[in-house]
Amino acid sequence: MKLIPEWYDHERCLIAWPCNLELYGSQIHSARKEISNLANQLAEEEPVYIYCNSQDIKDCRLTVSNQKISIIEVNLDDSWMRDIAPIFYKEEQQLKSINFNFNGYGKYPNYKNDNLLSDIICDQFKIPYKNSSITLEGGGITYDDQGNLFTTESVLLNSNRNNLSKQFLEEELKKQFSLKNVIWLKEGLFGDDTDGHIDNIFCPIGNDQYLIASTKDNTSKNYNILQEAKELVEEYLSRLNPKIEIIEIPLPGEIEIDNKVLVASYINFYFCKNSLLVPKFNVDEDLEVYDIFQSLFPSKKIKMIETSNINYGGGNIHCVTMNMPKI
C-alpha cells in the first residue's frame, strides 16, 4: 500500500463546478469562468471530469464548451474537490481509495452531498474503496515518495473535526497508508477558513525538495507561522535525509476583492505531466515565483493562471482539483 505523490502521472483530473452562492456571492460567475479556463488548460494534458449540480448543468456546458471535458451531473454542496474526493493509493498494482468523512470543515451546515461524492467517484470508475470514520480533507494532508505525510494540528486535531488524540490519529494514518512518519506542522495561513490546510503553505515536489510559503514582512500575521513551520520541517526532514532542500516561495502581496482580503498562496498549484498550473494574482511576486518554478522545473512549462475569483471563495487551483493517479 502506497500513497502516490502528485508529481507522478495522472489518469485524469476531477473538478467540482462552483455552486455555493453564499460563499461566492456576486463573484460566482467570474469564478466559473476561471474554472472553465483552468479545465481547458488541464484538458490539453489529461482527461478532465467536471462534477456539477443539475441546476447548473446548462450554465456549465455553455461556459466550458470543450468536447474534451466530461461533465457529470451529481448533487454538490460546494466546489472544493481536493477535500471531498477519494484519497487514492496503490496496492498490488491496483488503484484503490480510502474515503474519509467530510463534515463541512466542522462549521458549515450543508455538506452531506459532498460527503457522498468520494463513493460516487469510486463507483463510477470501479475503484475499490473502504470508508474511514476519521474526518479528513485532502487539502489537509500532503505526502512525498519517502513514506512521509504532512499535516497541521490546527485542522486534524481540531475538535470540530476529530475528538481523537494526536497519537491515535498518527497511528491510524500510518496503518492505513503504510507510512513511515507523520509530520505535524502547527497551523496554516492566518485567516484560512479551513482552519489551516497544509496545501497553502507546504508541498513536496520530489528529488528531496520541498516548497514552503514565506514572507519577509515581519509585521505579517503569517511571518511567525511560516518561520516556525520552516524550522520544524527542516529539523525533522534533515534528520531523515541530510540531502533535503527546502525552497521558499513568497506569498503574494495583499489581494482584496469587494473589501475581502484573500488568503492566497502560490503553493496551491497543480502538477501536470508537461506543465505546472500556478495561481496568478497580478502582483509583483508573480514574476519572482514564475522564475523560481521555472528554475525548479526546467523541462515543464509554467502556466500562471488568473484565479483571484476562485480564491475569493476560499481556495485555489489545488483546492478545486483532484488528480487521479495512473497505475
More reliable by pLDDT, 25 or 83: 83
**Mean pLDDT rounded to a whole number for the chain:** 97
Q: Residue 172 above 90 pLDDT?
A: yes
Mean pLDDT for 55-59 is: 95
pLDDT of residue 65: 83
Residue from 207, 190, 290 nearest 246 by CA: 207
pLDDT of residue 247: 98
User: CA distances (Å), 322 to each of 15, 22, 25, 191, 270, in order?
Assistant: 7, 23, 24, 23, 9
Confidence of residue 207 (pLDDT cuts 50, 70, 90): very high
pLDDT of residue 1: 87
Q: Residue 241 above 90 pLDDT?
A: yes
pLDDT of residue 53: 96
Q: Residue 258 above 90 pLDDT?
A: no
Q: Residue 178 above 90 pLDDT?
A: yes
Confidence of residue 297 (pLDDT cuts 50, 70, 90): very high
pLDDT tens for each residue of 76-125: 999 999 999 999 999 999 999 999 999 999 999 999 999 999 999 999 99
Q: Label each residue of 261-313 as H, E or C.
A: ECCCCCCCCEECCCEEEEEECCCCHHHHHHHHHHHHCCCCEEEEEECHHHHHC
pLDDT of residue 321: 99
pLDDT of residue 293: 99
Share of the chain above pLDDT 90, in %: 95
pLDDT of residue 200: 98
Mean pLDDT for 247-274 is: 94
Query: Looking up cell 497553502, which residue turns up?
Result: 200
Residue from 96, 91, 95, 100 nearest 140 by CA: 100
CATH number of the domain bearing residue 112: 3.75.10.10
- Under 8 Å CB-to-CB from 241, ≥6 apart: which residues? 146, 208
pTM over 0.95: yes
pLDDT tens for each residue of 27-49: 999 999 999 999 999 999 999 99
Query: First vs last Cα of the chain: how many Å apart?
Result: 13
Beta strands, E only, 33-86:
48-52, 69-73
Confidence of residue 253 (pLDDT cuts 50, 70, 90): confident
Share of the chain above pLDDT 70, in %: 100
> What residues does 280 pair with on adjacent strands?
306
Confidence of residue 214 (pLDDT cuts 50, 70, 90): very high
Q: What is the dihedral of CA 259, 280, 206, 234, to 10 degrees?
A: -40
- Amino acid occupying residue 72: I
Mean pLDDT for 269-275 is: 98
Number of independent structural domains in the chain:
1
Query: Looking up cell 485532502, which residue turns up?
Result: 138
Mean pLDDT for 245-254 is: 95
pLDDT tens for each residue of 125-157: 999 999 999 999 999 999 999 999 999 999 999
Domain that holds residue 158: 2-325
Give CA angle at 212 (207, 215), nearest 5°. 145
pLDDT of residue 254: 85
| Grid cell for residue 162 | 476529530
Q: Residue 302 above 90 pLDDT?
A: yes
- Under 8 Å CB-to-CB from 231, ≥6 apart: which residues? none
Contact in structure between 129 and 96 (CB atoms under 8 Å): yes
More reliable by pLDDT, 274 or 65: 274
DSSP symbol at 109: S
C-alpha to C-alpha distance for 192 and 194, rounded to whole angstroms: 5
